[in-house]
Each structure stands twice: as C-alpha cells, then as structure tokens.
Amino acid sequence: MDAGQMLLARLAGFTATLRDNGFAVGLAEAADAARIVASPLAARPALLGAALRALVCADAAQWRKFDDLFAAYWLARGMRRVTKLAGAAPKQGAKTLRQLAEASPHGEPRATDTPTRQGNDEQNNPADRRGRREGASRSDLLARTDFRHIADPQALAEAHAQAARLARVLRTRLTRRDRAQKSGRRIDLRRTIRASIGRGGTPLDLVWRRRRDAPLKLVLLLDASGSMSLYTAVFTRFIHGAMQNFHAADAFLFHTRLVQISGAMRDKNPQRAIDRLSLLAEGVGGGTRIGECLAQFTRWHARRVLTRRAVLMIVSDGYDTGEPGALGAAMAALRKRCRTIVWLNPMLGWDGYAPVARGMAEALPHVDLFAPAHNLESLRRLEPFLAKL
Amino acid sequence: MTREEIADGLAAVGYIADRDLATALLLMDMLRRPLLIEGEAGVGKTEVAKALSDLHGTNLIRLQCYEGLDQSAALYEWNYQRQLLAIKAREGADAEAIEAAIFSERFLLARPLLAAIRQDVAPVLLIDEVDRADEEFEAFLLELLSDFQVSIPELGTIVAKTIPRVVLTSNGTRELSDALRRRCLYHHLDYPSQDREVKIILTRVPGIAAALGRQVAGLIAALRREELAKVPGVAETLDWARALLGLGVADVGDDPVAVYETLACVLKTQEDRARIGRDVTDRLIAQVA
C-alpha cells in the first residue's frame, strides 16, 4: 500500500467517525473529501482540517465540534473512544468522542456536565416521592429521572391524539381567517393577463390575490422541576405528539438549566425518543430558576426558534428561586418576540390556589392566556380558548 | 489559485478574509459546490459574495429571499404584456406561428437564477438570506444547484452555459433542510478578531489614522462583550469610524463627548442605549485610550 492509499484508508475511518458523531457525510462528500486529500491541501494538517471542515459541516454546532474531532482522529490528541456510558457518571478530564457528540448546539451545558450543587432537601423530603410539593428549590437533582413510564403505549396514543387535535384547532382558525380576508382581496393583474392569453386576450378568468397563510408554530417550554414532577410525564407525551403533528414545533425542558429536547422528541420511535431524552434530562426533578432559563432561552434560542407566527406555551407552576425581577424581565423580552404567550399552570386547577407566588405574579402581565392544565382532559377543555387567540 | 492568493486577492478588493474562509473559497472552485455562510447579522456575509465577484472580475447576481418567493420571481416569467401586444399585432396570422413567436426567448424575462446560468463568464450568484424563503423553494433551489439546468415547458430545457459560483447566506431564522446543508460547503462567519477589524477599518475607511482605527476596533470589541440586545456588526464599526473621522476626532481619549454622541452609529435599540450610559462609555474609553 503506498502513502496515498494509506491516507485514503485513514480518511475512510475519519468519515466513519464523523458519521458516528452525527455529521451527514454522504458518498458525494466522501468522494470530495478524497479529492481534497489528494490535492496540495493535504500538505499541512491545518489546511486539511480547514478544508474538510468546510466540506462536512452543516451547521454552527458541527463547525465548533469539528476541530476537536479532527485533532482526535488525525493528531490523536487527548481523546479516548468510549463505547457506552450506560448510567455511569461522566468523568471529568479528557473529553471523549461521545461527550463531544452530546455537546449541545449552543454551548450551554447538557447531560455531560456534572452539576456542582448536590440537593439534600430533595433526598430527605418524603413528600418528594409523590412529587406533590409546593415551593421550589435551588438545588439540582443528580439522579437521572426515569422516563420509561412515558412510553406507555396507550397513554402515548392519547397524548398524540390530543396534540393532533390541537394542531387541527389552530389550523382551522387559520382557514377561517383566510376566508375573512377574501372580502378585501385584490385582483392579481399579472396572473389575470396570463390567464387571458388562452381567451385571445380578453380577461374572462379573473385571478385573485390572497394573503398566504403559513400554519402556526408551537414552541413548548416545560418546567421539569421537582414541584412539577406529577405532570412532567403527561406533558412529555404531549410534546412528543406535538412534534409529530404540528407543522413546526420546538420543545425545551427547564429546571435549573434549559435543555432543548426537540431533536430527541422528534424521533418517531417513542422508546428511542425517551432514551435520548433521559440522556439530556439530567437534573430533572430538582429546583427551578425560571427567570434565568427564560433569559437563556431568549438569548440563545429565541431568535431561531420564535417567529412572528409562533405560539409560546410555557407549562410551569411559577415557583421560581431565581433573582426577583429576572422572570418579569425575561417575559417582557419574550413578549416582543412572539405572537402569543400561553402559560399553563397545573396548580391553577387546585381549590383555593391563587397566583400569588412571586414568579407567577411577575410573569402574569406578559401572558395572553393563563389557564389551568394538569392532564389531557384539561388541555382538551382549553381548545376553544386556544382557538380564539 | 492557492489559499494565500485568494486571501491577498480579496484584501486587494477590500475584503479582509480569515484563512478558513479563503480555504472554503478555494474548495468552492475545486469541488464546484455552493458555499453556505452562516453567522450573526452584520458579520459581512453578503460582502463575501461581492468581494468574490470583484476578485474574479465577474458579475454579481443577487437573489434576495423572502417569505413567499416563488419561481416566477426567482427563475423566469413570460412577459405577458408584450405577448398580448404581439398577439394583437399579428391578428389573423397563422396560430402556430403566433405561438412559436410569443414563446420565444424574446418574451422571456430572466430572473436572477436563470440569468445566472446564462452568462458567458461564470458569475457569482448570491442567494441572500435563504432561510427566509419557504421550504418548497429550498427544495427547488436544491434541484437547480445540482443540475444547473432549467426546463421551461413552452421552450424546452436550458442548460447552464457556465456554472456560477454560488454563495448562500443564512441568518438562522429558520432551520435549513439537511439536504441543502449537505449539498453546500459550510462556513461559519464570526465577528472579526480585533486585529482583523483594525485591518478592515484601515482598508475601508480611507484617510483614517492607524491609532484611531485601533481604538475604534478596541471599543467595538469591548462593546461586544457587554450584554447588548443587538450586537454591533462590521458595518456599524465602519460607520462609527467614519463618523469619528468626520468629526475630526484623532484620539477617543481626548474627546469622550464625541464618542458618546456618536454611539447612535453602533447601538440600535433604546435598551442598549440605556445600558451604555456616560459612565460605561468612559470606562470603555479608558480601556482603549
């Protein structure tokens, strides 16, 4: 084997590594990579790295990840290849390829960073077992929450049906809107003339101009703190349904941190979706810092995720341990970015509950619809209100 | 061309590129793939295409994407008015002859995409803010970018005379499809480093002293570290440098009032304006002066 062939064999290994890490490297890309390796660009590692990076990366997250992968493979720098972590706590120190694979697209911590604070009130409080507990806590929960029960087929089917209904409701509303617009529609002169060609230039068939309507986008922010643990499963199922049924949807979990779960929940196979979610969801069931998480959402995700056609649905009990004022400021910023904010509060269904918690009181002025929701039934009752938004 | 030649060439036409970008542009020619550039607003994505067309001395054909952009605005359209006139003018003539006449190239309005593949010299085709267009348009674009031919039902298939250099830019308002991303080379453009920004100022603002250029770049770098709602881009930097130059400021330390008053060039929201008050400005000036 000569040097060129050896290089090509190494390259094949590298493309395999990239595919393992979620890069979409097709045959055409592999062929182009081979051309790069055969060109003068392969003379220096830095050049080769820059060239391959431009070829195989598809977004900013991959762009940032590539250098580490490249160094690990070609220069064997500070990397170990680990097959599966399976429940073991991630070790500090040299990053593994798998950890890189899990690094979040926007740089905020995800499953692989170990929280520094250890919750003690969580472990000692017996009420926590049942999850029904008022108040919030600052601590992160280390234990990985078991999401398996979420995949219960029947419950999942119900949640999907509900999400599909909701998607339909929001769409019906759009068609109604469309019809109302017809009174104000104008003639599309260009297309009318085009249509008249077939009639020898007499404009018999008029073409009307209508406003094009795109369906709404749903963005879900689910509070997954300890005080919400009774409802997390219901809404996780609902999110899974929404991801499949809405034209466009995005979902995030937040507790003391914010985690984007759209990718995991878009997985059609519920079991796989839940596996991926469990990896992401470390810290679920701990305390809440709603204000910080929302601010983080505004800063890193809102620009991409929220459009003028987005409905932002926040599911939280509003028990916040962050700085006073942070939640209100974050909500005000979000208000400017999206069309509608819906806040679903499971506690609102309880007798004698009033939204006096400081967090809730701060958020309320910025919310368009504030409603109770603790199960699918209550979501169903909400449909008419959501349809009116 | 080598990477260094490309970087030097771009510098000669007023664009200071980093080495990675030069490599990506080199690959564009080598692999004949489009280049997708992503980055924050104002980092100079569109400028790359302009500089590239200057570098190769070719036309720049620009397609600005927006919601609802369709084939008739992007690819081609028949000139219906002229067709109607032609029909009237030839009334009574043989129908087949009229049809052949009105569906000829003379009545075809070439929109940017069609125009780009019919040039004698390969132009630079800039598809700006492709994320604003609809998903259907993206799929259509993908087809065009792989085949470089267009079929017009009345006229037949038009095959590209030359393959344009295609630059796509995206702001990330919508996720692009994986297929489009895979088809393209990718470059993530960040705000320029302070050194590069100094070079950009000195290249693009004629008559500015190197000292002032360095100070402006330093101030901008400091401002970008503040938590701003709208982070100033390169265009803002250049505006600001021009403003200070125009006001006769030679050293920002000597004239903090002028610096404060010209912040309007850089801070574009009321919130940011309130955040960067007189005291913050003075602190930033003290850092660079």
Instruction: Indicate whether A72 and A217 sit together in one domain.
Output: no
The mean pLDDT of B220-249, rounded to a whole number, is 91
8 Å CB contact of A201 and B87: yes
pTM, two decimals, is 0.65
- Lowest-confidence range among A64-78, A167-181, A295-309? A167-181
Last residue of a domain, one of B153, B188, B223: B188
Q: Is the ipTM beyond the 0.90 threshold?
A: no
Higher pLDDT, B28 or A197: B28
| Whether residue A92 sits in one domain with residue A225 | no
**Which residues of chain A does B23 touch, with a Cβ-Cβ cutoff of 8 Å?**
41, 47, 50-51, 54
Q: What is the pLDDT of residues B38-92, one digit of tens each?
A: 988 888 899 999 999 999 999 999 999 987 788 888 999 888 888 888 888 888 8
Nearest to B182 among A29, A40, A64 (CB): A29
Contact B23 A32 (CB under 8 A): no
My answer on whether A49 and A162 are in the same domain is: no
**Which pairs from A355-359 meet CB under 8 Å and 24+ separation?**
A355/A318, A357/A317, A357/A318, A357/A319, A357/A320, A358/A320, A358/A324, A359/A290, A359/A291, A359/A318, A359/A319, A359/A320, A359/A322, A359/A327
> Looking at per-residue confidence, does A89 or A285 come out higher?
A285
Measured distance CA(A355)–CA(A343) in Å, rounded:
12
Q: For residue B46, is it within any domain?
A: yes
Residue A111 included in any domain:
no
SS3 state at B65: coil
Tell me the pLDDT band of A172, cut-offs 50, 70 and 90. Answer: low
Domain hosting A292: range is 148-167+213-388
Please state the rounded mean pLDDT for residues A326-355.
80
Residue A167 has pLDDT above 70, yes or no: yes
| pLDDT at B269 exceeding the cut of 60 | yes
**Secondary structure class of B89 (helix, strand, coil):** helix
Do residues A163 and A23 both lie within one domain?
no
pLDDT category at B178 given cuts 50, 70, 90 is confident
Instruction: Tell me which residue range forms the domain holding B263.
Output: 194-288
On average, the pLDDT of chain A sits at: 72
At A190 the pLDDT is 77
Q: B262 φ, ψ to 5°?
A: -90, 5
Same domain, B181 and B275: no
Residue with tokens 């028949």: B78
Residue with the two structure tokens 């702001």: B171
Which range has the worst mean pLDDT, A35-39, A91-95, A266-270? A91-95
Residues of A with CB under 8 A from a CB of B: 24, 26, 29, 32, 35-36, 39-41, 47, 50-51, 53-60, 62-64, 190, 193-194, 196-197, 200-201, 212, 214, 303-304, 307
- CB-facing half-sphere around the CA of B150: CA atoms within 13 A: 23
What band does A124 get if pLDDT is binned at 50, 70 and 90?
Answer: very low
Nearest Cα neighbor of B277 from B288, B265, B267 is B267
Long-range CB pairs of B151-158, under 8 A, 24+ apart, other chains included: B152/B76, B152/B108, B154/B78, B154/B103, B155/B103, B155/B104, B155/B105, B155/B108, B158/B114, B158/B117, B158/B118
Q: Which is more confidently placed, B158 or A267?
A: B158
Q: What is the pLDDT of residue A38?
A: 86
Of residues A55 and A104, more confidence is placed in A55
In a domain, residue B99? The reply is no
- CATH number for the domain including A285? 3.40.50.410
Asked if the structure places residue A233 within a domain, the reply is yes
Q: Does some domain include residue B104?
A: no
Q: Say if A124 falls within a structural domain.
A: no
Contacts of A337 in chain B (CB under 8 A): none
Q: How many domains does chain B have?
A: 2
- Quick one: pLDDT at residue A213? 60
Same domain for B57 and B38: yes
* Better-predicted residue by pLDDT, B217 or B41: B217
Strands A248-254 and B165-170: unpaired
Q: Report whether pLDDT(A142) > 60.
A: no
User: Helices marked H in chain A — which ranges?
Assistant: 3-20, 27-38, 45-56, 60-74, 97-102, 121-124, 127-130, 153-181, 189-196, 229-245, 262-265, 270-280, 290-296, 302-305, 326-335, 358-363, 376-388
- Predicted confidence (pLDDT) per residue in A40-53, tens digit: 888 888 888 889 99
Q: In the predicted model, is pLDDT for residue A173 greater than 80?
A: no
Asked if B1 reaches chain A (Cβ–Cβ under 8 Å), the answer is: no
B160 and B246 within one domain: no
A4 and A88 co-located in one domain? yes
Contact B178 A58 (CB under 8 A): yes
